[in-house]
C-alpha cells in the first residue's frame, strides 16, 4: 500500500493541497529565498516528471492501471455526498476526455478499481497498491466532507482532479508530499498554470507570471502525461469547434466562457478541425497567443488560458477591450471588435479585422488580407505594418457602390493613407506604413474596395466577412 498526499490536514486560512505551501525564510530579516538557477520546464518535461520523475525521486516505481485508451475502469462513488458525487463525475469526465478511458460506476468495492469516499475529515489523499510490474490493482481516494466548507467549491473540484490524477499514476510536480516549500521545486515554473498536480498556485511561485486561478480543466502537462501513459491516439473535440461564446462543443470545455468569466483557468485541447476562440463577450483587454503552448489573458485575469501543445487554433474573436492577438503559422482569421487593438498574424495567409477603434495590424509572413467592414459603423483609423507583395486591403461596402466609399489617398512621407467613407458616412482610414501609392494597385469589386501590395490589381479573397463578424 502506498499513500500519496498522505492525510495531511489543511491549516487555518490555507487551502493548499493536503497541507501548507510556503517559502523558506533566511537571515535575521526573514527574507524569502528560493532555489537558485532552476530550469524552466516545457509542458513535455513536466509531464515526464509527473509520469516517472516524481516516483524515482521518492524511491517508488511509476505505475498505472492495465488499461489503454478505449478501455474502461470501474469507480465506486457511493461513499461521497451528493455534491461530491457531482464533482467526481465532472472530474472523471475531464480525465476521460483526454485519456480515452471510460469510467463506469459500481457499488461493489471488490469490483471497483477506484474507490472514493469523504469519511476522513480535513484530509485529501490517494492510496493504492500495485505489483512489481507497476500494474495498479486498486486505488482509494478520500476528500473529507468538510473540504469544501474550508476551501470552497472551486478548490474542492480541483482537488478531485488532483487526486484522480494520482489514482491514474501521476505524481506531484516537485519533491513534496503533504506540504511544500519553494526549495522543493524541481523546475522554476512549478504551478497550477502547468499542472493540477502542483502544490503551488500561480501567485505562490515568483517565477510564474500569472494571477491566481483554479483549474476548470486538466492543464497542459497533465494532458500530455496521461496520453503518454494510456495512449496518445485520442481524438477530442473533432470538427470545427468554437470555444467560448457561441460554443458548439460538449463536455468540460463547453463551459469555458462561464469559467473564465468567474476567474478560473483552463487549457484548450482539440485534435481536429478549423477551430475558433470566441471571447467576444469580454469587455476587458485580452492578450491571446494562438500558438501551441500559448498562454493568454482573458477576462482581466493574467495567464488563465493555455493552448495545449498538440492543439491548433485557426481563428480568434475578441470583444470591446484593447486586445492583442498573436496568430500562428496557420491561415488565421482574427477579428478583434471594438477597442484599440494589436493584431499580429505571424506566418500563413491571414485575414485580420481590427473592427472599431484605432488598430495596429501586422500580417507577418504570407499573403495577408486586412479587412474593413464599411457597413458596420466606425472602423477607426488603422495602421498596417509590413504591407508587402501579396498582401491586400479589402474594404467591404455591402450594397453600396464601392467607388462612393473610397475618399482618396494621402502620401505622408513614407506612409500611404487610404481614406474611406463608411456606408453611414463616417470617415475611416488605413495607414500602410512604408508604402508608396500606386494607382494600379487600386481596384473595385462588386461590393468592396481593393488595394493590393503589388503593381497589379488583385481580386477579392473572401466571399464575406471574417469569422465573428
Contact 373, 353 (CB under 8 A): yes
- DSSP secondary structure letter of residue 369: E
Identify any residues that bridge with 32 across adjacent strands, giving them in sequence order. 25
Q: Given the C-alpha cell 507497476, which residue does it identify?
A: 134
Pairing of strands 242-244, 24-26: unpaired
Q: From its phi and psi, is residue 236 left (phi > 0), alpha (psi between -120 and 50) or beta?
A: beta
Pairing of strands 21-22, 180-181: parallel
Question: 142-146: long-range contacts (C-beta < 8 A, 24 or more apart)?
Answer: 142/7, 142/116, 142/117, 142/118, 143/80, 143/84, 143/116, 143/118, 144/118, 144/119, 144/120, 145/81, 145/84, 145/118, 145/119, 145/121, 146/121, 146/122
d(CA 124, CA 130): 20
Nearby residues of 104 by Cβ (< 8 Å), 6 or more positions away: 72, 73, 74, 75
Let me know how long the chain is.
469
Active-site residue, from 18, 97, 163, 394: 163
Name the grid cell of 258. 462561464
Contact 441, 455 (CB under 8 A): yes
Name the grid cell of 149. 466548507
Judge whether 272 counts as a catalytic residue.
Answer: no
Nearby residues of 125 by Cβ (< 8 Å), 6 or more positions away: 3, 4, 5, 6, 7, 8, 18, 141, 142, 163
d(CA 215, CA 164): 14
d(CA 395, CA 376): 11
Annotated catalytic sites, by residue?
163
Amino acid at each position: 500500500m502506498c499513500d500519496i498526499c498522505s492525510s495531511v490536514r489543511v491549516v487555518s486560512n490555507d487551502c493548499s493541497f493536503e497541507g501548507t505551501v510556503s517559502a523558506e525564510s533566511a537571515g535575521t530579516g526573514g527574507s524569502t529565498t528560493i532555489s537558485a538557477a532552476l530550469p524552466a520546464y516545457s509542458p513535455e518535461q513536466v509531464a515526464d516528471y509527473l509520469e516517472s520523475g516524481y516516483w524515482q525521486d521518492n524511491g517508488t516505481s511509476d505505475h498505472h492501471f492495465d488499461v489503454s485508451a478505449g478501455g474502461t475502469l470501474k469507480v465506486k462513488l457511493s461513499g461521497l455526498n451528493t455534491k461530491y458525487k457531482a464533482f467526481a463525475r465532472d472530474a472523471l469526465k475531464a480525465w476521460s476526455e483526454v485519456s480515452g478511458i471510460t469510467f463506469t460506476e459500481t457499488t461493489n468495492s471488490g469490483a471497483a478499481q477506484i474507490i472514493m469516499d469523504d469519511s476522513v475529515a480535513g484530509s485529501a489523499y490517494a492510496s493504492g497498491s500495485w505489483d512489481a510490474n507497476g500494474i495498479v490493482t486498486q486505488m482509494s481516494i478520500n476528500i473529507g466532507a468538510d473540504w469544501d466548507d474550508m476551501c470552497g467549491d472551486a478548490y474542492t473540484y480541483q482537488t478531485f482532479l488532483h487526486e484522480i490524477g494520482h489514482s491514474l499514476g501521476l505524481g506531484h510536480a516537485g519533491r513534496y508530499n503533504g506540504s511544500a516549500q519553494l526549495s522543493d521545486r524541481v523546475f522554476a515554473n512549478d504551478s497550477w498554470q502547468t499542472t493540477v498536480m502542483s502544490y503551488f498556485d500561480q501567485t505562490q511561485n515568483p517565477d510564474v507570471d500569472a494571477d491566481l486561478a483554479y483549474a476548470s480543466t486538466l492543464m497542459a502537462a497533465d494532458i500530455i502525461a496521461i496520453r503518454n501513459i494510456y495512449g496518445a491516439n485520442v481524438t477530442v473535440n473533432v470538427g470545427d469547434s468554437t470555444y467560448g461564446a457561441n460554443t458548439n462543443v460538449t463536455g468540460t470545455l463547453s463551459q469555458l466562457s462561464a469559467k473564465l468569466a468567474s476567474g478560473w483557468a483552463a487549457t484548450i485541447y482539440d485534435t481536429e478541425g478549423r477551430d475558433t476562440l470566441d471571447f467576444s463577450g469580454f469587455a476587458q483587454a485580452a492578450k491571446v497567443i494562438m500558438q501551441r503552448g500559448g498562454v493568454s489573458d482573458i477576462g482581466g485575469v493574467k495567464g488563465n488560458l493555455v493552448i495545449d501543445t498538440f492543439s491548433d487554433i485557426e481563428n480568434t474573436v475578441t470583444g470591446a477591450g484593447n486586445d492583442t492577438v498573436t496568430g500562428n503559422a496557420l491561415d488565421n482569421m482574427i477579428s478583434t471588435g471594438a477597442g484599440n487593438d494589436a493584431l499580429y498574424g505571424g506566418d500563413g495567409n491571414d485575414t485580420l479585422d481590427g473592427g472599431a477603434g484605432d488598430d495596429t495590424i501586422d500580417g507577418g509572413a504570407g499573403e495577408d488580407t486586412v479587412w474593413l467592414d464599411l457597413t458596420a459603423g466606425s472602423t477607426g483609423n488603422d495602421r498596417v505594418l509590413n504591407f508587402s507583395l501579396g498582401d491586400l486591403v479589402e474594404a467591404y461596402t455591402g450594397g453600396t457602390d464601392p467607388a462612393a466609399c473610397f475618399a482618396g489617398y494621402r502620401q505622408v512621407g513614407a506612409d500611404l493613407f487610404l481614406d474611406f467613407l463608411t456606408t453611414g458616412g463616417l470617415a475611416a482610414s488605413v495607414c500602410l506604413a512604408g508604402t508608396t501609392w500606386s494607382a494600379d494597385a487600386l481596384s473595385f469589386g462588386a461590393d468592396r474596395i481593393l488595394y493590393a501590395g503589388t503593381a497589379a490589381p488583385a481580386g477579392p479573397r473572401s466571399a464575406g466577412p471574417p469569422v465573428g463578424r
